[in-house]
Amino acid sequence: MTADFTPLTSLLGGGLIGLAATLLLLLNGRIAGISGIMAGAIAAPGPERDWRTAFLVGLIFGPVTFAFFGGTLPQPVLPALPIVVVAGLLVGFGTRLGGGCTSGHGVCGLARLSPRSLAATATFVVAAMATVFLVRLLGGG
Amino acid sequence: MKIASAAISGLLFGIGLALSGMLDPVRVLGFLDIAGGAWDPTLVFVLAGAVGVTAVGYGLAGRRAAPIYDERFHLPEATALDLRLLGGATVFGVGWGLVGYCPGPAIASIGFAGTSAAIFCLAMVGGMILHRALPETARI
C-alpha cells in the first residue's frame, strides 16, 4: 500500500468523472468515451467534429483549472521515448479496434451493464497487468 | 449549446481525473502491478465512483425521450463479443501497461506534463490514423 493512498478524494474524483459522463449524455446524448471522441475530432470537419474538439479542449483545461484552485498535479516521469511512442501507437490502434478505452468501456459501458464493455474491460486490465508483470520480469521496471 | 455543454463536460472530466490521482501514471502502474508487493488500489475507488454516479445519472437521463440539445441518444449498438473487440482491448492493454497512460489522462496531461505526454498523444493519434487507413477486411 502506498503512502499517498487517497480513497476518499479518488472516489470523489471518480464521481466527478461520472457527473461529466452524465451531463454529456443528458445534454448531448453522447457517451463519454475519450478514444472515440479523439478519433472523431481528427475526422472530417463538421458539427460532429466541433463538439468533440470542444470536449477535448475542456479536458485539457480541467487539470489546469484544478491547479489554479490550489490542487496539486503530478510531474510524471515517463519511460524512454521509443517506449512512449510504441505505447501511444498501441493505445491509439487498440482502442479503435476494440471500440473504446477505460472511459467508454470501463466507465460508461459498465454503468450501462454492457456485456461487450465488461469483456473489453476485463481483457485490457488483464493485458495491462500481464504487461507490467513482464516488464518487471525483464528488469525494465 | 452542444459545443458549450461538451466543453463543460470535458472540463469536469479533467478536474475529476486530476482530483482522482489518475493523472500520475505511477499510480496507475501501481494498480496494474499485482506482483510488486506495493499494490495501489486507488484506481478501484476511482472506477467505483465513476461507474456508480454514471449508472445513476444514465438511469435518470434515460427517463427522457431525448437528450436536451439533440434529437436522440447516440448509444453503441454493437453486441458481438468478437475477436476485434477482444484483440483491440488486448493491444490497448499492452500499451496502457507500458506507460500507464490511457487516452483520458494522456490528453488531460497535455497542458502541464511536458513533452513526453504530448509525444504519447501524437503517437496515439498516429495509431488511430493507422487503424483508419487499414482496409475494412484487414482490421481482423
Nearest-10 Cα torsion for A116, A118, A123, A124: 100
How far away is chain A from the Cα of B134, in angstroms, using its nearest Cα? 11
Domain check: are B70 and B84 in the same one?
no
Q: DSSP for B50-82?
A: HHHHHHHHHHHHTTSSS-SSSSS----------
Which residue has cell 510524471? A76
pLDDT at A141 over 60: no
Q: Around A97, how many Cα atoms within 13 Å sit in the side-chain half-sphere? A: 30
C-beta of residue B94 within 8 angstroms of C-beta of residue A131? yes
* Residue ranges of B 111-130 with Cβ closer than 8 A to chain A: 111-114, 116-117, 119-130
Range of the domain at B116: 80-140
Domain check: are B114 and B140 in the same one?
yes
Cβ neighbours of residue B31 closer than 8 Å, sequence gap 6 or more:
B39, B40, B41, B42, B43, B44
Domain check: are B90 and B21 in the same one?
no
Q: What pLDDT digit, counting tens, does each position of A101-131 carry? A: 999 999 999 999 999 999 999 999 999 999 9
Domain check: are B68 and B123 in the same one?
no
pLDDT at A22 over 70: yes
Domain check: are B6 and B61 in the same one?
yes
Domain boundaries, chain A: 7-137
Confidence of residue A26 (pLDDT cuts 50, 70, 90): very high
Q: How many domains, chain B?
A: 2
pLDDT at A44: 84
Domain check: are B1 and B70 in the same one?
yes
pLDDT at A1 over 50: no
Q: What is the DSSP letter of A42?
A: T
How far away is chain A from the Cα of B128, in angstroms, using its nearest Cα? 5
| pTM for this model (two decimals) | 0.95
Domain check: are B136 and B95 in the same one?
yes
Q: Which residues in chain B have their CB less than 8 angstroms from residue A116's CB?
A: 76, 78-81, 85
